[in-house]
Structure 1
Amino acid sequence: MHLIISGHQRSGTTLLRRLCDGHPQMKVANEFGCFADMGLTVRQAWAARWAQWRLVNGRWAFDSQFATDPRRHWHNFWFTLRYGWHLAQMAHGPVTVEAVAGALEMLWPETAVVGDKLPQYMPLLPQLSKNKESHIVVIYRDCRDVTSSFLEKVRTVWRTREWAKEVDTAEKIAANWVNHIVLMEKLADDIHIIQYEQLVQEPEHVLNGLASWLDVDPAGFKPQTIKMDSLGKHRKGLTEAELAEVTAVAGPTMRRLGYK
């Protein structure tokens, strides 16, 4: 079984991936991006993953067992090399979801659930969800907290990214968030949806539901590792003007989702 985790940036995808990857029956790569290669040739898919390896450059580990290893760059290199080798064995023609999942299964044999987490999978979900073997989880969060956290990043570590100017105001981020929610709701019948606030406040309930959906042992999750200190951070992170921009753009959608 393969798992795809996505959601708007700063919505809790990292927390959800960590919880899933920490389950003894699951291994979930960290923003490797392999499910974005559908329809490419194997050579093109290899090139795309090598580009991701160069971009990441050891800032995080594709495989979390090397997350604290100072040689993450080289572990990512071998991870990418091994994945490419397995993909070449699995793909017969254009790359498919099944080929990607098969390559991950060969990387992590005897693991019930394998997958990858990447916020940028969101626009690809209509295509990915057509595969009935795909188990897709989307996590969403209060637009105000998303905007606050996103602005902090885009003004610091993300400021040199090519796409930064497209989402460098509260209004732009809120509009992007609304688009993600609309897409999530359209796919609701084919995916599993988790609210970040509920995950943090009622972790056992949410994780039991996820375990049932994935057919894994709920006892394998570690809800005690979840912290609640990230709720409501927009109160300090957004100005009154920025909060007004978010409310003007995303207010109706937020109210529909139960955010006051």
Structure 2
Amino acid sequence: MLAAAALLAPATAFADPAQTYYERAFVVAAHARCDLFEPGIDRALTAATAQARGAALRSGAVATDLGAVAARARARARAVSCNDPQLAIVRDRVDNAFAGWSRTARMTFPGEARPWLANRTDYSSATWRLMQASSVGASPVTFGIAGKDRGSELMAVVSWYGRPRPMSARIVLRDTTKIPRPWLAKGNLVPEAGRASYWAAEVSTAEATLLSEGKRAGDAWTFPAAAAAALERLDPREAFAVEFHFRDGSVATVPFEAGDFAAGRAFLAMGML
């Protein structure tokens, strides 16, 4: 357990990603049993555990193997007494390790090609809380969670270059009920028969603070909350896309990477600063 505490610092390089995931999963499970931490540390641990899982998958670990790793961590946590002196030491070390992280406003969650950028700074104007940048042709597209004050929504903001405006937009990704295993085809989308889609609920003029650098106008497409939950279920190495559908029947497909979207949302759940 004392060795575990050394691996729990948020800045630790993932020398052994699966072992790091085990250590963090163990402490999360021990906290669930013994109520070890304040809510802020609890949420920081949740984010860090999701981040460790993503790092392990990108290093080549198999999802089913990581499921077994998490099961071992939970079993170990069940076997430890909540009054164990070593657990108390682990609790104190984790408190110290994550206290600084709970006060961190910005984080980058690296991916294979595209990172997620997270920002917990509390602005009164609209800002990206969690975002990933992409493009279709010469048109920049930003996707993620945005809002102002303490509200936020899942959206895509696009500034079109030399094209008419689309009629509709949707997120397309693997349907985990049809294809349970991750679709890891070098950034390619899962075949049509295995896809789920989430259509945008509305479109509006994007606020200036959400536009890509150098752009003066754009459209903001807002998606349902269920789409965010579906993204969290993807393997970090999987691709998804935002499709824009035009009146002439053409479709502009914008590629994105699932990456550590789940870890980024858990980081945001720590609250605004």
- TM-score of the two chains, using structure 2 as the length reference: 0.27
Give the structure with the larger helix fraction: 1
The structure showing larger relative contact order (alpha-carbon pairs under 8 Å, at least 6 residues apart) is 1
- TM-score of the two chains, using structure 1 as the length reference: 0.28
